[in-house]
Amino acid sequence: MRLAPAWGLLLGATAPLAAQSDPAAFVTAVREATRRYADQSVAIADGYRKVGPDFPSMGEHWISVPRIVRGTVVPLEPPILEYAMLGGRPTLVGVAYAQLVGEGLPTSSLPVPADAWHYHAGSVDEESFILGHASGEAASAAAGPRIAVLHAWVWLDNPAGLFATDNWALPFARLGLPPPPAAGEPREVTLAASLAAGGERYLATLLRLRHRLGDAESGRVDSVLAAHAAALRRALAAEPSGPALQRLQAGWRDLEHDLTDACPSCGHGSLGGLVHPETPRH
């Protein structure tokens, strides 16, 4: 994570950021406030619990319910911590803020525009969480009661922006690779990296839900994803940089072809749209 020079004063754990409009100072302050959560056991002791799946582009969401329901966004006390397995251990890669809202927009002193927030309504169980995120079916800003969420990638650089929802550099970090220039968007090489980094279960669940697959088709999809994930991992182990990235791209195209054969109801390009195409970049 690259840090710009800290122009603002480091803030105490309960000091407001209302006058703080500098993203670099915001990053410095939030990193200082959450540094202790690099040890996941500390987060667990503080009441954070895992909710939902491990997203290829976001990692796991660990949520503190009391910090969400208190109704006020406290920048140095994020209610959501995002972890991913890097180098064989759970690693803090970002934080997120959440606020229960009715009509209108969330209120906070965070240095972001209103359209940086996205919304969830209803259940946040694993299946609805996956489908809502992948299809862009999250509630709109004009909907009724819902949860407004804002991601802040303070521990892992995000090519799409500090406050973008998805961080497609994360699959490369999981693989121990530097992200290519295209890592800011879910392109073929990026999606292939997410599969090679262990995204089979997420992708299988996404296809099952999106296309309402029966047991037989789900089984075939699982087998195809597992086989291609293993092939991609072998390619990376043989040559973890340079031409291997080209093989990742070619491997994703082969995967789409094999998925069409294994799951006719899925259709070609069935793994597209892993993020809402209108996800803002900040």
SS3 of 89-134: the string is EEEEEEEEEEEEECCCCCCCCCCCCHHHCEEECCCCCHHHHHHHHH
Q: Two tokens at 144?
A: 């009724």
> Is residue 99 a part of any domain in this protein?
yes
148 and 53 in one domain? yes
State how far the Cα of 50 lies from the Cα of 53, in Å rounded to an integer: 8
State how far the Cα of 192 lies from the Cα of 202, in Å rounded to an integer: 13
pLDDT value, residue 102: 77
Percent of the chain surpassing pLDDT 70: 76
Which is more confidently placed, 265 or 13? Answer: 265
Q: Two tokens at 201?
A: 């279960």
> Is residue 5 a part of any domain in this protein?
no
Once rounded to an integer, what is the mean pLDDT over residues 209-221? 90
State how far the Cα of 210 lies from the Cα of 266, in Å rounded to an integer: 9
Q: Which domain holds residue 232?
A: 181-262
> Is residue 282 a part of any domain in this protein?
no
Q: Two tokens at 48?
A: 């954070």
149 and 43 in one domain? yes
pLDDT digits (tens, 9 = 90+) for 133-146: 554 444 455 556 77
Domain boundary among 104, 122, 156: 156
State how far the Cα of 195 lies from the Cα of 56, in Å rounded to an integer: 8
Which is more confidently placed, 273 or 117? Answer: 117
Confidence band for 1, pLDDT divided at 50, 70 and 90: very low
State how far the Cα of 68 lies from the Cα of 85, in Å rounded to an integer: 25
70 and 147 in one domain? yes
Percent of the chain surpassing pLDDT 90: 43
| Total domains in the fold of the chain | 2
> Is residue 279 a part of any domain in this protein?
no
69 and 142 in one domain? yes
pLDDT value, residue 76: 95
202 and 125 in one domain? no
> Is residue 148 a part of any domain in this protein?
yes
Q: Two tokens at 66?
A: 């009391």
> Is residue 43 a part of any domain in this protein?
yes
> Is residue 3 a part of any domain in this protein?
no
Once rounded to an integer, what is the mean pLDDT over residues 217-245? 85
119 and 50 in one domain? yes
Contact 94, 30 (CB under 8 A): no
State the chain's mean pLDDT as an integer: 80
147 and 27 in one domain? yes
35 and 143 in one domain? yes
pTM comes to 0.81
158-167, 216-225, 265-274, range with the lowest pLDDT: 265-274
Once rounded to an integer, what is the mean pLDDT over residues 223-229? 95
Once rounded to an integer, what is the mean pLDDT over residues 80-97? 97
- The answer, yes or no, to whether residue 10 has pLDDT greater than 70, is no
248 and 145 in one domain? no
Domain boundary among 91, 123, 156: 156
How many beta carbons lie within 10 A of that of residue 52, not counting itself? Answer: 18
67 and 29 in one domain? yes
Domain boundary among 156, 190, 218: 156
Report the C-alpha dihedral over residues 29, 30, 34, 35, rounded to 10 degrees: -50
227 and 143 in one domain? no
pLDDT value, residue 9: 31
122 and 81 in one domain? yes
> Is residue 267 a part of any domain in this protein?
no
pLDDT value, residue 277: 37
Q: At what angle do helices 126-135 and 200-211 cross, to 10 degrees?
A: 80
